[in-house]
Structure 1
Amino acid sequence: MFHLRGHHIFCLLGYRGMGYSEEYAENMTAVHTALREQPETLVQIIAGPDQLCAKYPEDKEYHCQDKDIYERDAEILSRLGVHIGDILPWSEVENRIRAHVVPEDIGVVCETCSWRSYGYCQQGVERIIGHKGLWNVEHK
């Protein structure tokens, strides 16, 4: 089971192997690959820093406790109809994305995210809506 905060659900949709550091990207790739290859993997929704935040590099400004990140978490959880503490398979997360999210939501919900300009998360939502699943990512 993975423990994820709300906004990392959207981050996983657009993940393409890049990250804040080598260690961060390796960790993100491992989580992403497991969810892509085994969509029945359970995910528990948590408040605050999660398994992905745990590998955030110490030499960068830590934003995982910022108020706007918590607000983004809450907005995404609200859109998906899930709550802190819920445990569900990743496949159900994808079902909820198909039912409640449109690609344009990324521009609104993730407006201040530095990764948004790549367009990957919006494309990731499109993939989920089209039943294509997460991207196949091979971290180098």
Structure 2
Amino acid sequence: MIRLRGHHLLCLLGYRGMGYSEDYVRNMTQIYETLRKNPETRIRLVAGPDDLCMKFPVDKPCHCQNTSVHRRDAAVLARLGLKPNGWSTWAEIQKRIAQRVESHDIHALCKTCSWRTYGVCEEGIVFVRSGRPLPPAPPVD
């Protein structure tokens, strides 16, 4: 079981090996590859910090509890028809994303996210909507 907050459901689609630190990237790569290879992995939806946040670097300003991040989580979960403290599988989450989110929705759902400008989350949504598998994550050094 992997614990994920709302907006990280979309972040994972766009994960391409970038992150806040080596530990963060290593952790996100492990979670991403687990989900990519095992889509029936169970996901516990949480309101607040999750298994990705736990590796946020202590030497950087933490945003995991910011109001804007909580609003983003709530907006993504509402769009997907999911609630905090619920359960799902990664396959079911991808299916909901394919049915309920379009690539241009990232601009509204994630407008305050600094990673949005890379365009990788939109790309991930295109993959999911077209039925293509997500690409392997780049190798971690």
TM-score in terms of structure 1 length: 0.98
2:131 maps to 1:131:
yes
Letter in 1 for 2:98: R
**Counterpart in the other structure of 1:58:** 58
How many Å apart are 1:136 and its aligned residue? 1.1
How many Å apart are 1:131 and its aligned residue? 0.9
**Counterpart in the other structure of 1:85:** 85
**Counterpart in the other structure of 1:37:** 37
What are the within-5 Å matches in structure 2 for residues 92-131 of structure 1? Answer: 92-131=92-131
Secondary structure in 2 matching 1:31: helix
Whole-angstrom CA distance in 2 between matches of 1:59 and 1:130: 39
Whole-angstrom CA distance in 1 between matches of 2:123 and 2:68: 23
1:91-124: CA deviations, max 9, x gaps? 0001100110000010111111110010000000
How many Å apart are 1:52 and its aligned residue? 0.3
Does the 8 Å contact 1:28/1:52 carry over to 2? yes
Secondary structure in 2 matching 1:4: strand
How many Å apart are 1:135 and its aligned residue? 2.3
How many Å apart are 1:85 and its aligned residue? 1.2
What are the within-5 Å matches in structure 2 for residues 7-26 of structure 1? Answer: 7-26=7-26
Secondary structure in 1 matching 2:3: strand
**Counterpart in the other structure of 1:68:** 68
Q: Which runs of 5+ in 2 are unaligned?
A: none
Secondary structure in 2 matching 1:104: helix
TM-score in terms of structure 2 length: 0.97
Larger displacement relative to structure 2 (89-98 or 126-135): 126-135
CA RMSD, Structure 1 to Structure 2 (Å): 0.7
Secondary structure in 1 matching 2:134: coil
- Alignment: residue pair count: 140
How many Å apart are 1:86 and its aligned residue? 1.1
